[in-house]
Chain A
Amino acid sequence: MVQAISRIWRSIKQRYNLEGVHCEVCKESFFPKRTICPNCRRKGKLVDAKMPHTGKIYSYSLVYSAPAGFEYEVPYFVAIIELDNKVKIFSQVVDSEVDKVKIGAKVKAVFRRVQAGKEEDVIAYGYKFTVV
């Protein structure tokens, strides 16, 4: 879906720097940001926290049939990355040799254009991961 400018702007820190939150009460981190800790709810204390930019592939798939905005990228890898702090995130995996994309492979975050879109659309940037 084409992203509104306000929407891109408000998620810049999260998409550009992998900024999530950390609960100072239960010590668990979350990505994306939440405003309430699901463990502690109103007793929790969430503070902004940068997630580690490295981790490993927890699961992956090579996608051949894409949603609108990704039609020109197929086939592309998507994965669940388990970051070094155990937080899991969904991401594309790019610029990696096909046979190196597997469960357990070490990866790092890279900054990329996320959706192709049409010429007049606002270009959305964000994180992807690459096998190291």
Chain B
Amino acid sequence: MKGKKVFVIGAGMSSFGEHWSSSLRELIVDAAVKAIADSKIEGKDLQAIYGGCMASGQLTGQEHIGALIADYLGINPLPSTRLEAACASGSVALRNGIMAIASGFYDVVAVGGVEKMTEVSTELASTALGGAGDEEWELFNGATFPALYALMARRHMLEYGTTEEQMAMVAVKNHANGAKNPFAQYQKEITLKQVMESAYVASPLKLFDCSPLSDGAAAVILASEEFAKKICEKPVEFIASSQASDTIALANRKSFTSLKATQVASKEAFTQSGLKAKDIDVAEVHDCFTIAELMAMEDIGFCEKGKSGKFIEAGETKIGGSIPVNTSGGLKACGHPVGATGVKQVVELTWQLRGDANGRQVKGAEIGLTHNVGGSGATSVIHILKKAF
């Protein structure tokens, strides 16, 4: 990665779920205070804040989240900025924080992500999320996010023989992991039969193939090497940060069975870090729908194109498998407050690389990868982190 070294020196998150008693600002303050306390800095040490949030305007009526965060953390007049890239908002906020440190402009910044999604009806939430795709030419014509991923799933099934059972296995695995995560929205295991018998949301995707609507926030403190050395015993280093874009509408893509933006961002991340897919010990990937995790395995390069169905079937991505994926429970079981997800992925990997992921720890994990997608693949962000102590 170009520029100065960048370290995570603190991480924290609110629990994910339906938080009827907590407001948007309470959620992000909860996560940020935990991250600040974990880093042992003082709020006043921070030089800037980057916050990821997708749709607070439609979901709660509140915009101007950057200023809101600084205000309610009691650290005005700090520069504080909101970034948006649909479900990848958290990761683009992270990239901006990383670049601010790598460039030498700042020594210590906070990055947060937040979304409050359960204050509107499911229909209105669906409309708000629809804006992550092509509002005029998909949403206008009745598209939903499950439907867009269902269109990809149907092609993957046709072209590679992937089955609904194999997709269901992703949900079963991620719930098994979520059951061990005290911050997860769903902390209980589910069976293959339960997934297969759940109702269709957009065929071939069923209710249990889909991530839920969630409230939640996550935050990390990033610092330069000089700053991190002074204060942090167990720093984790960012060794790659990459982002790619693609057509806003699914229809305009050549392939429906892979996300080009993920392939491009992954390749770039492996170039930056000098690593290969097989060097990764643990990964948090974007399983907004079960098919999305399967496609991510192929696009990142954890398995061959078209083989992700067999890959999950063989248990390769379980904790204890060759590449444990979504130890947090993923978007599926940990929950998906969209703006928070990219930051939560880094929180989970920070815990994994420090050896703090109680009950779901990947033994000896030293290198982790996050993969966060916006919309149906119009933005994809990859981060690679390395244990640095």
Contact = CB atoms under 8 A, between A and B. Distances in A.
A76 B127 contact: no
Interface in B121-139: 121-124, 126-127, 130, 134-139
Contact of A61 (B130, B134, B151): B151
Nearest to B138: A90
Interface in A72-88: 73, 76, 78-80, 88
A115 B123 CA distance: 14
A90 B141 contact: yes
Contact of A80 (B126, B127, B251): B251
Interface string A98-120: 00000100000000001100000
Interface in A30-87: 30, 32, 58-71, 73, 76, 78-80
A60 B154 contact: yes
A64 B202 contact: yes
Contact of A114 (B130, B140, B250): B140
B256 interface: yes
A61 B141 contact: no
A17 interface: no
B143 interface: yes
Given A88-B251, A89-B251, A68 B126 contact: yes
B139 A67 contact: yes
B57 to A, nearest CB: 13
Given A59-B154, A64-B202, A90-B137, A71 B143 contact: no
B277 interface: no
Contacts of A62: 200, 202-203
A80 B142 contact: no
Contacts of B201: 63-65
Contacts of B135: 1
A126 B141 contact: yes
Interface residues of A, number: 35
A1 B127 contact: yes
B309 interface: no
Given A59-B256, A61-B154, A61-B202, A66 B124 contact: no
Given A90-B137, A90-B249, A61 B256 contact: no
Contact of A90 (B146, B202, B251): B251
Given A59-B154, A71-B123, A66 B250 contact: no
B21 interface: no
A73 B256 CA distance: 26
Interface residues of B, number: 38
Contact of B126 (A3, A66, A78, A91): A66
A71 to B, nearest CB: 6
A115 B202 contact: no
A30 B140 CA distance: 18
A23 interface: no
B151 A68 contact: no
Contacts of A66: 123, 126, 142, 144
Contacts of B199: 64
A94 to B, nearest CB: 10
Contact of B127 (A58, A67, A88, A114): A67
Nearest to A3: B140
Interface string B255-289: 01000000000000000000000000000000000
A103 B154 contact: yes
Contact of A78 (B122, B127, B151): B151
Interface in A1-34: 1, 3, 11, 30, 32
B163 to A, nearest CB: 16
B37 interface: no
Contact of B203 (A61, A89, A103, A114): A61
A58 B251 CA distance: 10
In the A-B complex, the 4 residue pairs with the smallest Cβ-Cβ separation, listed nearest first, are A61-B150, A67-B126, A59-B151, A68-B123
Given A32-B137, A65-B122, 11 more contacts: A59-B155, A59-B158, A63-B201, A67-B123, A68-B123, A73-B142, A80-B256, A88-B252, A90-B249, A91-B141, A103-B154
23 contacts: A61-B146, A61-B151, A61-B204, A62-B203, A63-B142, A63-B147, A64-B199, A65-B201, A66-B144, A67-B126, A67-B130, A67-B142, A68-B123, A68-B126, A73-B142, A78-B142, A78-B151, A88-B251, A88-B252, A90-B138, A90-B250, A92-B141, A115-B140
